[in-house]
Chains A and B, each alone.
Chain A
Amino acid sequence: MNRPLDLPADGAHRTSVPAAISVRNLTHHFERRGEEPTLAIDDVSLDIAEGEFIALVGPSGCGKTTLLNLVAGLVPSQSGQITVRGLPVTRPSRDVGYISARDSLLPWRTAESNVCYGLEVRGVAKKERRERARAALDQVGLAGFEKSYRSQLSQGMRQRVAIARTLATEPELLLLDEPFSALDQQTKLLLENTFIDIWEKNHRTVLMVTHDIEEAVAMADRVVMLSHRPGHVIADIKVDLPRPRDAAEIRYDPNFREITHGVWELLRQEIAQLHISQI
């Protein structure tokens, strides 16, 4: 982190504080065998400050998940620059936590043992692993389920274990790929609130991809909208709502309604230009 920063020489961004996540002129093609590469992401630049909660929205297929996977280092970048705390991303980093829509729990491990996995990888001692895993499970409201296997847990509980697994590693940054999308409405609200509570305690930097605009506005500080493929940034909306927030309560706030309406309107215009076959 003390390394001198080599920012691109275009002079456009001479910030003194390094962004937690900085994406510069990122362009990405999908390559499929026997076909011309498809342009998926077109010259995206994005800065996320330390401690900021950003939601990334956009029409389906706009490359928002690809952008997230590029930032996570799960997909090698083709052109442009991605830095996390000033360091270029080449592969997944242990300081970055990643949560996807699918829980990906290892079915042969218990809930506690699944949460321990990320700590095992980091060489944490057994006793400490157990304590941290229990604390993380407790944080997501799953105390008492330490010994349950994936097959014994409901979908919402599985996703909570997945969240606990990532939180237990105490990442500096969190990348979320539609983390609540596979859940029913009530579970979703509950988990959103759990997550907001946890986030408000430590204010880690969060980049969350979602297709749910209300969720984006309810949770994030900023909503960034990508266009239809090839994705580029078409709007960057500041969500000026008070914190601490309650994911359910805030939906009655007139400001919330106004912001959501604005974001929807932008998305609607973006979609309106498209034929159904393009989606």
Chain B
Amino acid sequence: MTTSVQEHQATAVSPDVAELPAHKRPARRLPRWVSGRRIAILAIQAALLAALLGLWELAVNKGWANVVFYSKPSLIWEQLRLYLTGPDILLDSRTTITETLLGFGLGVVIGVPLGLLLGRYGFFRAVVAPFFTAFNAMPRVALAPMFILWFGIGMSSKVYLIASIVFFLVMVATESGIRTIDPDFVMMGRAIGSSERDMFLKIILPGSIPAIFSGLRLGAVFALLGAVFAEMLAAESGWGRKIAMDSQSFQPGAVFAVLVVVMVFGLLLDGFMSAIERRLMRWQQ
């Protein structure tokens, strides 16, 4: 903690150090993650996780909870190992990941431009906003059976369902990003003589990146959720289909095992999004 405070002061507050060019500032002594605080946090997190899993295992072993309903960590681990080495994992993963990414991509490709138009043109917004609001008030997952009816039980029905969820999240985030841009930037842009195009591409769009990214990260979570949910209704393969089958055949251990797989992919997806976000917003650090 103390080191990070000192660093902060060194770069931002203390004028004599701030006056030095970047290459002359004092170098950090240690990478930030090797601080005592960081190690303490990781240790406590590991202990908490172990305690939770241990309690679960214990509760089932002692008969406080029925293993048929709740399974237990050791069984889940066994099921996970089986699933990961079994014949279905490759096809299931390919199906769900493809649906998630395609649906997400399609939603972004539609949502960002629409959000830009909505944020930029008040007249357009006034005309279409009620339609979008009504569409959003409708729970899209309830439309999943219709998408399956229209586009079949293959991947395309999931891709379209996901896109319909993601585009709205991304559109709203983009619109609000554009509308909440610092008016000083717009004023400066006008005063310096920007063309409409420069104003949009060099001030408004980059200024909205943080807001757009919050929409993208939310969209990624919902894309995975949509894929798994729609697969549970009807699918030929995929993690959702596996969950539906295992729960219908009373195998909670197998259900949890698939959930672990889904969770790992969800974390990877979010980590990837954060990495892009950090890359685009280096200037914030």
Binding site for B on A (CB under 8 A): 72, 74, 92-94, 97-98, 100, 102, 104, 106-109, 117-118, 120-122, 144-145, 147-154, 157, 165-166, 169
Chain A residues positioned under 8 Å from B207 (CB to CB): 106, 108
Q: Are A149 and B193 in contact (CB under 8 A)?
A: no
- A151 to B12: give the CA distance in the assembly, Å: 7
| Residue B143, interface by CB 8 Å | no
29 intermolecular pairs with C-beta atoms under 8 Å apart: A74-B187, A92-B191, A92-B192, A93-B193, A97-B192, A102-B184, A104-B182, A104-B187, A106-B203, A107-B283, A109-B283, A117-B192, A117-B202, A118-B193, A121-B193, A121-B195, A121-B198, A122-B193, A144-B21, A145-B21, A145-B22, A149-B283, A151-B284, A151-B285, A152-B22, A153-B18, A157-B18, A165-B192, A169-B193
* Closest B residue, CB atoms, query A169: B192
| Cβ–Cβ contact B193 & A152, under 8 A | no
Among residues of A, the one whose C-beta sits closest to the C-beta of B190 is A92
Contacting residues, chain B, for A106 (C-beta < 8 A): 185, 202-203, 206-207
Instruction: State the 8 A-B residue pairs at the shortest beta-carbon distance, nearest first.
Output: A144-B21, A98-B191, A104-B188, A94-B193, A104-B184, A149-B283, A118-B192, A108-B283
Q: Which residues of B contact A94 (CB under 8 A)?
A: 193
Sort chain B's interface into a size bin: 20 to 34
CB closest chain-B residue, reference A148 = B22
Smallest beta-carbon distance A154→chain B, Å: 5
Complex Cα spacing A149 to B11, Å? 11
Nearest opposing residue in chain B for A122, CB measure = B193
**A145-B21, A147-B22 in contact; A107/B202 too (CB < 8 A)?**
no
Task: Flag whether B59 is at the interface (Cβ < 8 A).
Answer: no
Q: List, in ascending order, chain A residues with CB within 8 A of B185's CB.
A: 104, 106
Chain B's nearest CB lies how many Å from the CB of A105?
A: 8
Chain B residues with CB below 8 A from A92, complex form: 190-193
Bound complex: CA of A146 vs CA of B127, how far in Å? 45
User: How far in angstroms is the closest Cβ of chain B from A147?
Assistant: 6
Closest-CB distance, A128 to chain B (whole angstroms): 17
Q: Are A151's CB and B283's CB within 8 A?
A: yes
Out of A121, A151, A166, name the residue touching B194 (CB < 8 Å).
A121
B192 touches A98 (CB 8 A): yes
Least Cβ–Cβ distance between A164 and chain B, in angstroms: 13
